[in-house]
Amino acid sequence: MRPDTGFTLIEALIAMLLVALLLGVAVPAWTSASAATRSAAARAALEGTLIRGMRHATVTGARVVVCPAATVGCRDTMDWSGGWIAWADLDGDRRRDPNETLLQRAPPLDRGVRLRSTTGRRRLVLRPHGGAAAGSNVTFTLCDARGADKATTLVMANSGQLRSGKPRRAAALACVSGI
């Protein structure tokens, strides 16, 4: 006689319990890692646009406008999550004309990632000296599905220098809630 092969009900239940425990640990870690990756990609895209805009302004002597993208031109908002555009503003009117070079059109950010600028900073004008137009620094607050505690900032000084940091609690909460 051959002994019976296979699993007992107890062995199958134990195996299912182990799988459930592993999934309970792995899924939240994967979700958090995915959100962090999407945020990092958004930050890199924004930094790339700003650096490209500053370089273009410096090399060509033309002002460059960077703003939240609309179908044509800029949206009048501090929410940059829908993507942004950068172009050489040859006539200085801060509106993109057909003859003005489009430097970049960034697509909307991946799900769960939000990007907001400082109150009142709905567009940036980068000047030929490489910095932002007169005014105050602009602070971008970047947040994702991980919540306000994981929000970060990208600050652009009038000189064009970029640095990162942690947002004020109110700015992080506004970013997460989409207000």
Q: What is the pLDDT of residues 31-44, one digit of tens each?
A: 788 888 889 999 99
**CA 101-103-104 angle, 5° bins:** 135
pLDDT (0 to 100) of residue 51: 92
pLDDT of residue 58: 92
The per-residue pLDDT for 3 is 67
d(C-alpha 71, C-alpha 66), whole Å? 14
What pLDDT sits at residue 22?
84
**pLDDT tens-place string over residues 72-102:** 889 999 999 999 999 999 998 989 999 999 9
| pLDDT at residue 86, rounded to an integer | 95
pLDDT of residue 107: 95
The upper half-sphere exposure of residue 5, i.e. CA atoms within 13 Å in the direction of its Cβ, equals 2
* pLDDT per residue of the chain (179 residues) written in tens, 0 to 9: 666 677 788 888 888 999 888 888 887 777 788 888 889 999 999 999 999 999 999 999 999 999 999 988 899 999 999 999 999 999 989 899 999 999 999 999 988 899 999 888 888 999 888 677 666 689 999 999 888 999 999 999 888 889 999 999 999 998 988 77
Query: What pLDDT, on the 0 to 100 scale, is given for residue 106?
Result: 95
Residue 129 pLDDT: 80
How far is the CA of 83 from the CAs of 18, 69, 131, 134, 148, in angstroms? 43, 6, 22, 24, 21
Residue 133: what pLDDT? 66
What pTM was estimated for this model as a whole? 0.81
Domains and CATH numbers, the chain: 10-177 (3.55.40.10)
Structure tokens at 161: 């220098």
